[in-house]
Amino acid sequence: MNLTIENILFTGSVLLFLSILAGKTSYKFGVPTLILFLLVGMLAGSDGLGIQFNNPEIAQFIGIVSLNFILFSGGLDTSWKSIKPVLGKGIALSTVGVLLTASSVGVFVWLLTDFTIFEGLLLGAIVSSTDAAAVFSILRSKSLALKYRLRSTLELESGSNDPMAYVLTIAFLGLVLNPNQGVMSIIILFLQQMIIGGALGLLFGWLSKQAINRINLGFEGLYPVLVISLMFVTFSFTDLLGGNGFLAVYLCAVYLGQQELIHKNSILKMFDGLAWLMQIVLFLTLGLLVNPSEIIPLIGLGVAVSAFLIFVSRPLGVFLTLLPFKMKNRSRWYISWVGLRGAVPIVFATYPLIAGIDKAHMIFNLVFFISLTSVLIQGTTLSVVANWFKVSLPEKAKPKSPIDYIMNEAPKTEMTEVIIPDGNEIIGKKILEIGFPKNAIIAMLRRKGEYITPKGSTEIQAWDQLLVLSENKDCLKKVYEVLHVPIEAEIEEDED
């Protein structure tokens, strides 16, 4: 098929539409949505409908752009309160765990095949990280409620371990191309990527908050666009200075997710939708890039490596990494099982293709097969295995994400009207700047006889009448303190 601008748009929109329909019905049959996206791409490729796509550079570019959106959306939706207690476990799994997995798979492939040790380690590094797109989408679409803060641990690990896998992939690729490089170069590269990436991620998080809240754009729809530009500035500037852009983007988003932002609701919803779009585009692209006919001769080796990764390497890495932490064995086993591989390893597998090493196509096809079997086997059984290991919670106990909280606000039981007198110190400030309690909302604002729906960017003026809904009287007391208005008599009497 000759691809023109017109039929690229037509073909792309049809594939996108089919992928969405496939995703809509996939869970009726217990098949993860991401598998359907991959299969649609494969069916449309050269071995299917005949769409010719053999450009790893474009696939890598689409992959990097997509991963920015996926990681940023996951970071915005990550609660610091939920990940703080599991920070040590998450960081250990995303660094030591990834290194152990890469090393064991690399040695296994070296012993089993004619790969050199560095080629084996390169393959191990590429498949060493759990995939953020797969973990975020499958855990959240299945609405899994897990005990022992397991969900927070898994999402933190998947969101933060791509940088380690990226560093190892680049380092071992360098060793394949130039075996005389020393191990010290890998250590220096790792420290440089992590330190610069982490520092700039938090710095750009703070700068992004200032830009979002202080730049008056005038239109609500422009704020998500502003955040997109800040996301790409964070990634590209960090990469320019030699840091890890993926880590910086994730940390920047985690920081922003905890802050009061203008039009935060719109930003969260926009990125949630964009993350799904990027997942579809990414998996479709990678599906088009692969030729199933090239995978068939490698099925035997692919099954062996995939089985070793799922049943030996991942559990070994998890158990050794988590030895210093007090944890039930059934929790360790479940973390081992949620070692989902997905789009990220396939994107990383394009680096050997672009570098042109001897076994690049073999590595790419093996990685594709491993990712496919991982999502198909592990992704379809997360709920069942959670029940087996008794780590699942009832649906009513499922923790809320920031998007859940905004979209399904907890019922408020107290209501009052507060008038802001002339001379009050909050006059001229935006609502998001006054530190309004999170378990209370300003439902309506009356100003000069007109009713206004307040937003974070709404400035308080003298004699504004605020209709406040609160969960209880204790919270209502905090509202009065924040607004610097005397507490109404009936509230004080109830407390007495």
Handedness of CA 115, 121, 125, 127 (dihedral sign): positive
The structural domain count of the chain equals 2
The 10s digit of each residue's pLDDT in 47-69 is 666 667 778 888 889 889 988 99
Tokens 């800040």 belong to residue: 230
419 with 375, same domain: the answer is no
Average pLDDT over residues 75-86: 83
Last residue of a domain, one of 402, 433, 452: 402
The 10s digit of each residue's pLDDT in 389-439 is 888 766 555 555 444 444 444 444 577 888 888 888 888 888 878 888 877
390 with 425, same domain: the answer is no
CA separation, residue 409 to residues 97, 143, 273, 293, 353 (Å): 38, 18, 20, 51, 49
Q: Where residue 4 falls among pLDDT bands split at 50, 70, 90?
A: low
186 with 291, same domain: the answer is yes
341 with 416, same domain: the answer is no
- 450 has a pLDDT exceeding 90: no
Q: Where residue 492 falls among pLDDT bands split at 50, 70, 90?
A: very low
Task: Say how far apart CA 69 and CA 281 lie, in whole Å.
Answer: 12
Domain of residue 148: give its range: 5-402
The pLDDT value recorded for residue 101 is 95
Which candidate, 30, 45, 1, 2, places its Cα nearest to that of 283? 45
122 with 98, same domain: the answer is yes
The 10s digit of each residue's pLDDT in 288-324 is 888 888 888 999 999 999 999 999 999 999 999 999 9
257 with 398, same domain: the answer is yes
| 220-224, 228-232, 276-280: least confidently modelled range | 276-280
- 342 has a pLDDT exceeding 60: yes
Q: Where residue 143 falls among pLDDT bands split at 50, 70, 90?
A: low
Task: Say how far apart CA 145 and CA 456 lie, in whole Å.
Answer: 31
CA separation, residue 408 to residues 67, 401, 403, 454 (Å): 28, 10, 8, 18
348 with 469, same domain: the answer is no
| 150-154, 162-166, 357-361: least confidently modelled range | 150-154
204 with 64, same domain: the answer is yes
Average pLDDT over residues 370-381: 85
The 10s digit of each residue's pLDDT in 173-211 is 988 988 877 778 778 888 899 899 999 999 999 999 999
Looking at per-residue confidence, does 99 or 403 come out higher? 99
Query: Which CATH number does the domain housing residue 332 bear?
Result: 1.20.1530.20
Query: Which CATH number does the domain housing residue 443 bear?
Result: 3.30.70.1450
27 with 134, same domain: the answer is yes
Last residue of a domain, one of 365, 380, 402: 402
Average pLDDT over residues 440-462: 81
346 with 363, same domain: the answer is yes
- 273 has a pLDDT exceeding 80: yes
The pLDDT value recorded for residue 121 is 95
Q: Where residue 33 falls among pLDDT bands split at 50, 70, 90?
A: low
Task: Say how far apart CA 322 and CA 120 lie, in whole Å.
Answer: 25
Task: Say how far apart CA 277 and CA 194 lie, in whole Å.
Answer: 29
Residue 348 burial (CB count, 10 A): 27
Average pLDDT over residues 441-470: 82
Name the percent of the chain lying above pLDDT 70.
83
The pLDDT value recorded for residue 465 is 86
The pLDDT value recorded for residue 102 is 95
354 with 485, same domain: the answer is no
The pLDDT value recorded for residue 31 is 52
379 with 426, same domain: the answer is no
Task: Say how far apart CA 2 and CA 51 lie, in whole Å.
Answer: 8
Last residue of a domain, one of 371, 402, 433: 402
The 10s digit of each residue's pLDDT in 225-253 is 999 999 999 999 999 999 999 999 999 99
The pTM for the full model equals: 0.75
Crossing angle, helix 299-308 and helix 98-112, to 10 degrees? 140
The pLDDT value recorded for residue 199 is 95
